[in-house]
Amino acid sequence: MEQKRKAWLVLADGTVLEGESFGAQGTSIGEIVFTTGMTGYQEVLTDPSYYGQIVTQTYPLIGNYGINLDDMESSASHVRGYVVREWCDQPSNFRVAMDIDQFLKQQNVVAICGIDTRHLTKKIREYGVMNGAVTTEYDRLDQAKLQEQIRAFSITGAVQAVTCQSAREEKSEKGLYRVVLMDFGYKRNIVRSLNSRGCDVTIVPASTTAQEILSMHPDGVMLSNGPGDPEENVGPIGEIKKLFDHGVPMFGICLGHQLTALATGARTTKLKYGHRGANQPVRDLARDRTYITSQNHGYAVEGETVDPAIGQVSHVNANDNTVEGVRYLRKPCFTVQFHPEASAGPRDTSYLFDEFIAMMEKEAE
């Protein structure tokens, strides 16, 4: 039996939590966040929106159905570290390819288990998101220097780190519509959701210009999710403004929602600890209904900065009333903060993809 190794979680406020190591060995610094999903840990680990972050799972047992090759939301893990109460070393699932420890080793993700994740989550909720480090070598490091590195850490260049390097196409069986997906760190189920509705999807890098996109003659443009501070993406914001002014149908998710708001003159703000999990209640104001949604974001659009002559808030978070969606009035464009493609999570809001299809049909007429 393999001897258990120690690991430490070191927080920017000086807190040091000792636990056991799993996954890769070493030291990794990042922004510590928590996610509340009871399932979907594989989707969390492979969601590019977690770039630069050390992810804490609030659900106490992680890994019971292992890792499979079908539910990857990108080709690799993008987290800077992983924190769980307990991981399952004997997963049970007919699709299982490996356990979570093997996957984290393969992806070089330093992880820690055996700490009080409830205590850690309460700390983040009280003080807000903070930097930290997961390390298996704390007893051998210069601890004062490590604290300096933790406090100095910031997530920069996130979209550039996760976007694709060249365009590629994912065809559907029917080929009814042509959609260009701007890749800010997209999840694969966005493409699956579009393909299943007859859309041929061309995935393009975040640096692609509006002119290049329009030269492809798309029926619509999809603006994907992604990591980091939305205001950092000055280039893409400018290109989205050009696409918006041109009037091509657009649908934005998560970071795409924030970038569209910035392109039309609104502002964004960083939340205290963000919304991450598969159980976030969102009110659709037009339908007068509340949906349970999957979310992963640390920034939000400031509703009072949305110009009422340009757009109106369409969805709000039922917990804290933050903006969850904007519908634009004079252009064929709408955006949402949550994930209607829902991997992992409820599929309550998949109707938004159907609305995007209807919008492209209307514009084509």
Catalytic amino acids?
254, 339, 341
Q: Is the peptide bond before 344 cis (omega within 30 degrees of 0)?
A: yes
d(CA 142, CA 301): 40
181 within 8 A of 202, measured Cβ to Cβ: yes
Provide φ and ψ at 160, rounded to 5°.
-60, -30
HSE-up of 290 (CA within 13 Å, CB side)?
Answer: 7
* Residue closest to 338 by CA, chosen among 352, 359, 357: 352
d(CA 277, CA 44): 9
163 within 8 A of 205, measured Cβ to Cβ: yes
* Residue closest to 311 by CA, chosen among 293, 329, 295: 329
Taking each helix axis as running N to C, give the angle between helix 234-246 and helix 255-263, from 0 to 180 degrees, rounded to the nearest 10: 70
d(CA 66, CA 62): 9
* Residue closest to 14 by CA, chosen among 142, 136, 137, 131: 131
